[in-house]
Structure 1
Amino acid sequence: MGTSRLFRIFVVLGSAFMILLIIIYWDDVGVSHLYLHTPVSPGPKIPHAPPPQRPQTSRTPSFLSDIDAFVNQFLEPGTGEPTDPVPPDTSNQSEKAEERYIPRREWKIHLTPLAAELRERQRRRLLQEMCANDSVVFPGKNRSFDDIPNKELDHLIVDDRHGIIYCYVPKVACSNWKRIMIVLSESMLRDGVPQRDPLAIPRDLVHNSSMHFTFNKFWKRYGKFAKHLMKVKLKKYTKFLFVRDPFVRLISAYRNKFELRNEDFYRRFAQVMLRRYGNQPTPPASVDEAFSVGIHPSFSHFIQYLLDPQTEKEMPFNEHWRQVYRLCHPCQIQYDFVGHLETAEEDAEHLLRQLRVDNVVEFPTSHRNLTASSWEADWFSTVPVEARRELYKLYEPDFRLFGYDRPEWILNE
């Protein structure tokens, strides 16, 4: 009996001793086995230049932070390293330039909502099916990527730093996505430091072509190797675009370019519409003069302009109303992510998480007065039914490629 009790005492003391030993030697022994990509021991000391220092941040105790990192390596794709690798400093810039690297702000424990994941998969699957469907016909559908003219590749923005290609579609939150691409590619500096706040980037710079490296610029930089490099990046990089209901996008373009004072669009397009369809043989010379007397093309005039064969004989559709299949070539480029403006916030969060930059930048929430789908019937009430049906034929590929229902309530009234 005494021997059994003495044995139990030794077992308890031995266990306590082992627990104490683990706590004391945790950082030196145990943690090194948590990361498969971290050496177990530092190895022999060989003289070499000191590595660049990461920005100092407050940390939780080593034990807890290591546990957090260990958990997150199973929740997020990648190597499981606690932070992204710091790029080497190759320049002698100011101290602020040391902040070039944008660290992940924190380790989030989160999973992509199943509904968002399934929805996005369905969109990509539908796009592939429609491109293979012979009943969906539109110009350029069956050409190869090599056959796409260089001038038609100007909407594909490349970020080599993160391996991202974004095809921007005007009137589909492209201003905010361009802002994000500027932040990620670090193409805008402020006092020698990359701009990190998307909303701090002025609107005139957002749409300045010099701020973005697009596919159509490859020829100037790479010459005869341009097309090959494009295809390499298309294969290796994550490619995404955002779309919206085609008719609602047209309404949004009209509101923005013709109901507001825009001198450039007034001279290039509004005056043409007023002369052809508005019974204004000599429209006012400037947008201010036109607005002062209450003259601007109606939405019906705008639709007439789109349907007029003479329009595209003079020049291709402006990017604000050009079809998405002509801007982004979805049957030649296999997109990894197709977002919809109607679910923009959820889709943006999902995408940034998928790109592993959700702790670097957030999609700016827009509080502007957006064009609602429910307004379609009111806007098209002044457009003859036959014209509506012709317009649908013009944009039918976008409806079908991206999963938007045929608007029967507009086409059959």
Structure 2
Amino acid sequence: MGTSRMFRIFVVLGSAFMILLIIIYWDDVGASHLYLHTPVSPGPKIPHPPPKQRPQTSRPPSFLSDIDAFVNQFLEPGTGEPTDPAPADTGNQSDKAEERYVPRREWKIHLTPVAAELRERQEHRRKLLQEMCTNDSVSFPGKNRSFDDIPNKELDHLIVDDRHGIIYCYVPKVACSNWKRIMIILSESLLHDGVPQRDPLAIPRDLVHNSSMHFTFNKFWKRYGKFARHLMKVKLKKYTKFLFVRDPFVRLISAYRNKFELRNEDFYRRFAQVMLRRYANQPTPPATVDEAFAVGIHPSFSHFIQYLLDPQTEKEMPFNEHWRQVYRLCHPCQIQYDFVGHLESAEEDAEHLLRQLRVDNVVEFPTSHRNLTASSWEADWFNTVPVEVRRELYKLYEPDFRLFGYERPDSLLNE
């Protein structure tokens, strides 16, 4: 009995002694140091500083304090391509695509240089943008603000492709559906049979305009937090930036045809009913677009122009993206675009751009036989719009005319 009792006492004392040793050891080396000696899964070796160098009152600057260095460690020099996958985006399939990535074909070898005419065209458009942004005769809201002053919500049209180092500012009614398809192909954010989709025209329209398919600047805050704005500026400096534009008045005609001459329930309720009540003597317009079309009621092009010029319109909400000015969508005086395409020369410009981006072996710009709005139709469309109203409309869109090299439509404004 005595031996057994002594044995139990020794066990208790021994256990207490071991616990004391563990506490002393743990307090000396730190929990994190002890944990690093027992890894759960294999990974890169992470050097840690000697315990004596641990700060007592404040943490030393980490590598994140130099955000350029942080970004550069993920980019191949001169290419803008990430060396590692981007952080997971729950609304995007790119991570799955990364696991099943199909290597791209060899880059095309171009035996002939890009035509001098095309290079000169781009040089002229870029130079014109720079001149107009420094020319005091061209004035518009936000022209002289810095990039940091642009609200985050106004950066939602800048689509980023980190895989190829590209930033595209999309402008509705300027072939943006097909350019968005191109960006989906390049970013490999859509899978088909387990591999990235390669056919732009096979991407359904509802997915093309689904915001989860595109990583835009206004989403940087969610992913990068306080480093978001600095990261935007780093990417703007390193990546190739492009946009496509068209004659501003023709773009308005195209927007009207697409949104108000066709059955569109959303645009009917949000905009058409407002126009009918204000300008068409329709205090109680039909409740639905089908009912309106059944009795032949819809706002005229003249009503649409009245709506754009009505001060009450922007007091209620900013212009819809389909008729918002390009300078408000893409901020050309804060962002130095490397390529400015025109819809009027879309095929040549698209081929030139894809070749300049070195992705012309990966994807081709889709050609389609659409019912395009022609510039020659302007006189017919504006026939019912008084000359004074046309002049007011030109003032509203004059910055876009001058920034992107479109001639003043004197035939419409001087009658």
Distance 2:93 2:56 in 1: 19
Deviations 1:258-288, CA, capped at 9 Å, x for gaps: 0000000000000000000011010000000
Comparing 119-128 with 339-348, which one deviates more in the overlay?
119-128
Q: CA deviation at 1:71?
A: 34
Q: Comparing 118-127 with 102-111, which one deviates more in the overlay?
A: 102-111
| 1:75 and 1:109 in contact (8 A); partners too | no
The offset of 1:108, in angstroms, is: 3.9
Judge which range, 234-243 or 40-49, deviates more. 40-49
Give the deviation of 1:191 after TM superposition: 2.6
Instruction: Please list the CA deviations of residues 61-93 of structure 1 after superposition, one character each: whole Å capped at 9, or x if unmatched.
Output: 999999999999999999999999999999999
Identical counterparts, % of pairs: 93
CA contact (8 A) 2:82 2:163 kept: no
- Of residues 42-51 and 102-111 in structure 1, the stretch that sits farther from structure 2 once superposed is 42-51
Alignment check: 8 A CA contact 1:27 1:63 kept: no
CA deviation string 1:147-206 (max 9, x = no partner): 000000000000000000000000000000000000000111123211111000000000
Residues 240 and 32 of structure 1, relative CA distance in 2, 3 Å threshold: farther
Partner SS, residue 53 of structure 2: coil
Between 1:98-107 and 1:116-125, the stretch displaced more is 98-107
Match of 1:281 among 283, 307, 314: 283
Give the drift of 1:142.
0.1
The farther-off stretch of 116-125 and 291-300 is 116-125
Distance (Å, rounded) in 1 between the aligned partners of 2:316 and 2:82: 56
SS at match of 2:242: strand
Gaps of 5+ in 1: none
Is this contact kept in 2: 1:153–1:216, CA < 8 A? yes
Deviation of 1:289 after TM superposition, in Å, equals: 0.1
State the secondary structure of the residue aligned to 1:157: strand
Once the two structures are superposed, residues 336-380 of structure 1 have per-residue CA deviations (whole angstroms, 9 ceiling, x without a partner) of 000000000000000000000000000000211100000000000
- Tell me if structure 1 keeps the 8 A contact 2:217–2:232: yes
Shift of 1:55: 51
Q: Check conservation: 1:116, 1:347, Cα contact below 8 A.
A: no
Contact 1:325 1:397 in 2 (8 A): yes
User: What is the deviation of 1:36?
Assistant: 42
Mapped to 2, the partners of 1:20 and 1:147 lie a distance apart of 59
Give the distance between the partners of 2:163 and 2:235, measured in 1 at CA. 12
> Does the 8 A contact of 2:102 with 2:195 survive in 1?
no
Change (3 A) 1:54 1:188: farther
* Distance 1:30-1:74 versus aligned 2 partners, 3 A rule: farther
Note the aligned Cα RMSD (angstroms): 18.8
Evaluate the alpha carbon distance shift between residue 72 and residue 280 of structure 1 in structure 2; reply closer, same or farther with a 3 A threshold.
closer
Quick check: 2:94–2:187 contact (8 Å CA) kept in 1?
no
CA distance in 2: counterparts of 1:6 and 1:255, whole angstroms? 98
**Partner secondary structure for residue 242 of structure 1:** strand
Q: Which deviations, in whole Å up to 9, do the C-alpha atoms of 1:197-255 show, x marking residues without a partner?
A: 10000000000000000000001111111000000000000000000000000000000
Q: Is the 8 A contact 1:75 1:110 kept in 2?
A: no
TM-score by length of 1: 0.76
User: Conserved in 1, the CA contact under 8 Å of 2:129 and 2:403?
Assistant: yes
- Equivalent residues, number: 413
Change (3 A) 1:346 1:48: farther
Taking a change above 3 Å as real, the CA distance of residues 144 and 64 of structure 1, as seen in their structure-2 partners, is closer
Distance of aligned partners of 1:46 and 1:347 in 2 relative to their CA distance in 1, 3 Å threshold: same
Contact map agreement 1:116 1:346 (CA 8 A) in 2: no
In structure 2, relative to structure 1, the CA distance for the partners of 1:344 and 1:44 (3 Å cut) is: closer
Structure 1 residues 107 and 45: alpha-carbon distance in aligned structure 2, compared to 1, 3 A threshold: farther
Q: Which moved more, 1:89-98 or 1:339-348?
A: 89-98
Query: SS in structure 1 opposite 2:167?
Result: strand
**Stretch deviating more after TM superposition (260-269 or 94-103):** 94-103
Q: Deviations over 1:300-327 (max 9, x none)?
A: 0000000000000000000000000000
Per-residue CA distance 1:71-123 (angstroms, 9 max, x = gap):
99999999999999999999999999799545554654536776565566550
- Which range moves more in the overlay, 182-191 or 301-310? 182-191
Tell me which residue corresponds to 1:259: 261
- Rate the CA distance shift 1:12–1:154 in 2: closer, same or farther, 3 A: closer
| C-alpha contact (below 8 Å) 1:179/1:199 kept by paired residues | yes
Distance across 2 between alignment mates of 1:262 and 1:252: 14
Structure 2 counterpart of 1:377: 379
| 1:14-413 pair list within 5 angstroms | 100-101=100-101, 103-105=103-105, 108-110=108-110, 118=118, 121-122=121-122, 123-413=125-415
* Contact map agreement 1:59 1:65 (CA 8 A) in 2: no
SS in 2 for 1:230: helix
Q: Is the 8 A contact 2:67 2:230 kept in 1?
A: no
Post-superposition offset of 1:11: 98
SS of equivalent to 2:345: helix
Contact kept? 1:68, 1:107, Cα under 8 Å:
no
d(CA) in 1 for partners of 2:259, 2:160: 28
Of residues 317-326 and 14-23 in structure 1, the stretch that sits farther from structure 2 once superposed is 14-23
Contact 1:87 1:101 in 2 (8 A): no
CA distance in 2, matches of 1:95, 1:33: 32
TM-score, normalised via structure 2 length: 0.75
